[in-house]
């Protein structure tokens, strides 16, 4: 496992050599009838940056990505992707975008290697040029042994890696990933993260949606918390945590937790959130509460540093795990 760069040393990444942003949205809005799904958002993603869009299901993440891909015409606002206006020039931008969709759209009529070959054909890549490229992509995705396997025989992690390999056939400038690790087991997730970091280190711009806080914290230079169509705040994961929540969290759970809270047990905390049967105590100094909890053997508790999940809860008032 590579060590993460110290978060506070990370400014919003910018590629000085390429001043054209990977993504630039202004006042972007999408309405379906009365319902506003994306509600006037502004964002700029620099070349070489990894930007994460974090929010529960139904927050508007996928609709935002669909607009980026030219799949959903915006109701209002302007959008430029790799310097070109979208949806007007979306065919030209898609030639330079790689997409890993939320639901696999691998072609079940073909084997692994045929999937890459056929998809390369959609980009107008000649069979001769595709050949060497596909060998590299199979190696990158760790799928060499499965080259001639039908799609139906692949595990979830293999399918997702093939989706990633497929998204790279056009050597994209911008890689768009919609919940790339949803449904994957921890090993498969780690492998995918490692590959994404590798791509980022090569200078590729990444835009991803996720509802895994850990994913956003590990991969993204900047994260935007999205809920109900709005971008609530954007910054590095560490700064978001520092700005919105107290540094220490004591989670108290179990059948007596709510009663303990009701009796004033959490009064020493700077702030308290109740999520289900868990009492979350946010504090600058955790010692008084930890001392008090030691005298309550019926309660289970966990002391941890604050993370993006707490930021999310603070900004949206919603429990992400329930979302």
Interface residue list for other proteins (CB under 8 A): 69-73, 83-84, 89, 91-92, 94-97, 99, 101, 103-110, 114, 118-119, 121-126, 129-130, 133, 170-173
Q: Which is nearer to other proteins, 44 or 111 (CB)?
A: 111
Shortest Å, Cβ 215 to other proteins: 22
Comparison of 2 and 78: residue with beta carbon closer to other proteins: 78
Task: Please identify, using beta-carbon distances, which residue of 75 and 190 lies nearer to other proteins.
Answer: 75
Nearest CB to other proteins, comparing residues 44 and 75: 75
Question: What count of residues does the chain have?
Answer: 323
Residue 71 C-beta: closest distance to other proteins, Å: 6
Torsions phi, psi of 273, nearest 5? -125, 140
CB 225 within 8 A of CB 233: yes
Helix, strand, coil % (nearest 5) of the chain?
35, 25, 35
Helix axes 308-316, 237-244, angle to 10 degrees: 50
Q: Tell me how far, at minimum, the Cβ of 120 lies from other proteins, in Å.
A: 9
CA dihedral 180, 196, 177, 116 (to 10 degrees): -90
Going by their DSSP bridges, the two strands 300-305 and 248-253 should be labelled as antiparallel
Shortest distance in whole angstroms from residue 196 CB to other proteins: 18
Phi and psi angles of residue 206, each rounded to the nearest 5 degrees, phi first: -125, 135
Name the residue nearer to other proteins (CB basis): 12 or 101: 101
Give 82 or 217: the residue with its C-beta nearer to other proteins. 82
Strands 271-275 and 248-253, how do they pair?
unpaired
What's the min distance (Å) between Cβ of 268 and other proteins? 52
DSSP letter, residue 11: P
Q: How far is the CB of 166 from other proteins (least distance, A)?
A: 8
Q: Which residues share a beta bridge with 269?
A: none
DSSP state of 111: B
State the minimum distance, in angstroms, from the CB of residue 154 to other proteins: 15
Within 8 A by CB and 6+ apart from 184, the residues are: 156, 157, 160, 192
**Token code pair at residue 266:** 């959490």
Between 121 and 288, whose beta carbon lies closer to other proteins? Answer: 121
């Amino acid at each position: 496992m590579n060590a993460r760069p110290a978060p506070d040393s990370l400014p919003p990444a910018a590629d000085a050599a390429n001043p054209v942003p990977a993504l630039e949205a202004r006042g972007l809005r999408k309405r379906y009838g009365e319902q506003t799904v994306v509600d006037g958002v502004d964002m700029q993603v620099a070349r070489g940056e990894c930007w994460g869009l974090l929010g529960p299901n139904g927050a508007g993440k996928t609709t935002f990505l669909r607009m980026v891909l030219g799949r959903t015409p915006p109701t209002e606002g302007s959008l430029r992707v790799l310097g070109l206006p979208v949806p007007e020039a979306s065919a030209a931008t898609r030639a330079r975008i790689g997409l890993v969709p939320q639901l696999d759209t691998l072609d079940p009529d073909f084997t692994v290697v045929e999937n890459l070959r056929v998809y390369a054909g959609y980009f107008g890549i000649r069979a001769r040029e595709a050949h060497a490229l596909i060998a590299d992509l199979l190696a990158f995705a760790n799928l060499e042994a499965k080259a001639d396997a039908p799609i139906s025989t692949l595990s979830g992690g293999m399918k997702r890696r093939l989706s990633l390999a497929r998204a790279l056939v056009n050597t994209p400038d911008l890689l768009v990933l919609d919940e790339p690790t949803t449904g994957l087991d921890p090993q498969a997730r780690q492998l995918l993260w490692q590959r994404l970091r590798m791509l980022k280190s090569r200078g590729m711009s990444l835009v991803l949606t996720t509802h895994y806080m850990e994913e956003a914290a590990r991969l993204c230079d900047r994260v935007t918390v999205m809920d109900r169509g709005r971008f609530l705040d954007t910054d590095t994961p560490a700064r978001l945590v520092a700005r919105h929540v107290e540094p220490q969290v004591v989670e108290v759970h179990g059948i007596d937790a709510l009663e303990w809270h009701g009796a004033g047990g959490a009064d020493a905390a700077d702030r308290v959130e109740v999520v289900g049967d868990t009492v979350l105590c946010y504090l600058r100094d955790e010692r008084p509460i930890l001392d008090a909890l030691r005298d309550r053997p019926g309660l289970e508790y966990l002391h941890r540093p604050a993370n993006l999940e707490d930021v999310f809860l603070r900004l949206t008032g919603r429990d992400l795990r329930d979302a």
